[in-house]
Amino acid sequence: MMVKKVQPNCNMSNTSNDIWFLSEKTPSSTYGELLAGLFHVKAEQHSATQKIEILDDFDWHIWQSGKLLLKQNQSYCLQQPESPPLQFEQAGDPKFSWEFAEHEASGVLAPLIGVRALQTVFSCNHSDTCWEVRNFEDDKLVCRIREVWLQGDHDVPFYSGYLKLEALRGYQREYQQIVAKFQEHFVAEPTSEPIDLRLLLKHHHFDDEIPAAITAEINYHLPSEAAVRLLLKALLLDSRRHVDGICRDIDSEYLHDFRVQIRKARSLVQLLKKSFSADDQLQIKTLLADIARPTGPLRDLDVFLLEQNRYRELLPQEQHAGFEVLLRNIKNARAQAFKKVNAYLSNGSYISDFEKVLALVDQPAHCDSPEAQRAVGEYVAQLIAKRYRKICKMGLSLDDNTPDEAVHSLRIECKKLRYLLTLFGSLFASGPLKKIIKRMKGLQSVLGDFNDFTVQQSFLNEQASRSRSQNLIITVSGLVAVLHQKQLEVRAHVCDGMSEFAAPETASLIEQLLLNEAE
């Protein structure tokens, strides 16, 4: 039997415990033989083996927060560090945080998983067995031996368990005798973590199962064309991770993340266009646009459905009937749009487009332009400085009479700067980089809200133009008026956000960033 000793943890309820990890089942006679002549081991108590499902979202946000969401049939348990577990019953099969009737659990899960769906990321069988250790004189119970096991199913066979000695008050001398016998056989391995199901999973290298984004390793002095090709390949391969979730319609974030990666790839080609030949640049951008284009309508419909409760709250009660007609139409349109996206991603068109662009990107660097040969760190530093100056010039010229198109242009320039900072962030010192991105978030949030209101109004007007329902048309008219007013309110904050981002402190951070190559 393979075992490793774990020292007791101060967070455990019983401070007189000694624990060993186990990697294979223990014969029932083992403990009796180990304690022969000192004590007798009797009355094994064995709980029924139960199947446990571990629920999390695609990125395992619950696990990475230190929590664990377990499901056994209709029973749920949300384990939290330094807090009592939340145990509750839930009918049906809730996918999203807001579908849980247990409000406390919903409140804990919502900030972790957002609009992502819960899935079974792992399942195993759980068993708990207890032996009683009694003395010979008067058959008094002096200690308990407890084994807790996780056993993988036929797809993922494994054993992971621990053995725990539980002391009883008044029998410390006997307990020390038992511990001494166990220590003769087992090697100590201390841990600072609570002994629970989570630790068992970590001991089984559960952390290795966390889905990881596909990234590229580049350095400051790598020629820019080679660096950009590596980044493009990583973005493309990472986008493909989300295709299965899109086709299975698990949640809307799969499509969102897919589109973000494709959009980043397109921006990267445009931002560092001199790193490619004109022919390569055109072919890559065209293919990326072909991949993104079929998914646009579905994303627009998803965005509305995600915000439906907020929209409903903006309307007076008498317009709710029209809103329900609008909602029904959008759900029907969403079903049709999903079929089209699913068909595109599942048939040869997407596969062909993807393989073509991947083949183009995966070619060896061959452009002979000075920019293509230039160290990517130097080239990007120049682009960051240029983009920042352009944003300041555009943003500080805004006033109440500036056309909305100029505000949208500013948003696009900020997004380009953000892409440069995030895609090439590993090339520069992390301190200034994090501070710049933090300062950008405020401005980008305001600009993003402004753009969202514009897109939403356009989307709603399009829905109204396709309908003959007077209730729907009246509802859309009212909703568009409310959104327009909110857009005007946001517009008033753009200049404030721009002033903060253009402040001398930000300029100083940009200067520090570009002078300090990452170590």
More confident position, 517 or 336: 336
pLDDT at residue number 5: 41
Report the interhelical angle of 504-515 vs 376-396 (nearest 10°). Answer: 170
pLDDT at residue number 7: 37
Strand-pairing partners, residue 260, are none
Tens of pLDDT, residues 449-490: 999 999 999 999 999 999 999 999 999 999 999 999 999 999
Q: Which one, of 309, 314, 344, 340, lies nearest residue 327 by Cα?
A: 309
More confident position, 99 or 11: 99
Q: How far apart are CA 110 and CA 421, in angstroms?
A: 29
Under the banding of pLDDT at 50, 70 and 90, the label for residue 6 is: very low
Using the CB atoms, write b or e for 16-48: b if 16+ within 10 Å: bbbbbbbeeebeeebbeebbeeebebeeeeeee
Query: DSSP letter string over 374-389?
Result: SBHHHHHHHHHHHHHH
Under the banding of pLDDT at 50, 70 and 90, the label for residue 112 is: very high
pLDDT at residue number 347: 87
Tokens representing 300 are 């627009």
pLDDT at residue number 78: 93
Q: Which one, of 165, 205, 184, lies nearest residue 7 by Cα?
A: 165
Average pLDDT over residues 54-69: 94
Is residue 2 predicted with pLDDT exceeding 50? no
> Which listed CATH number (2.30.30, 3.40.50, 2.40.320, 1.10.1660) goes with 19-209?
2.40.320
Q: What residues does each domain of the chain span? A: 19-209, 220-373, 375-518
Neighbours of 112 (CB within 10 A): 18
pLDDT at residue number 77: 92
Architecture of the CATH domain 220-373: Alpha solenoid (1.40)
Average pLDDT over residues 376-398: 94
Please state the length of the chain: 519
Give the side-chain half-sphere CA count within 13 A for 334: 16
Give the least confident one: 203-217, 295-309, 312-326: 203-217
pLDDT at residue number 199: 74
Q: Is residue 318 within 8 Å of residue 275, measured between CB atoms?
A: no
From the centroid of its chain, how far is CA 216?
Answer: 19
Q: How far apart are CA 292 and CA 266, in angstroms?
A: 10
Is residue 136 predicted with pLDDT exceeding 80? yes
Under the banding of pLDDT at 50, 70 and 90, the label for residue 152 is: confident
Q: Tell me: domain 375-518, CATH 1.40.20.10, correct?
A: yes
More confident position, 3 or 405: 405
pLDDT at residue number 155: 60
pLDDT at residue number 10: 30
The model carries a pTM of 0.87
Q: How far apart are CA 376 and CA 357, in angstroms?
A: 22
Under the banding of pLDDT at 50, 70 and 90, the label for residue 11 is: very low
Burial class (CB in 10 A: 0-12, 13-18, 19+), 423: buried
Q: How far apart are CA 118 and CA 490, in angstroms?
A: 34
Whether 375-518 and 220-373 are alike in CATH topology: the answer is yes
Residue 109 makes CB contacts below 8 A (sequence gap 6+) with 62, 69, 78, 97, 100
More confident position, 509 or 126: 509
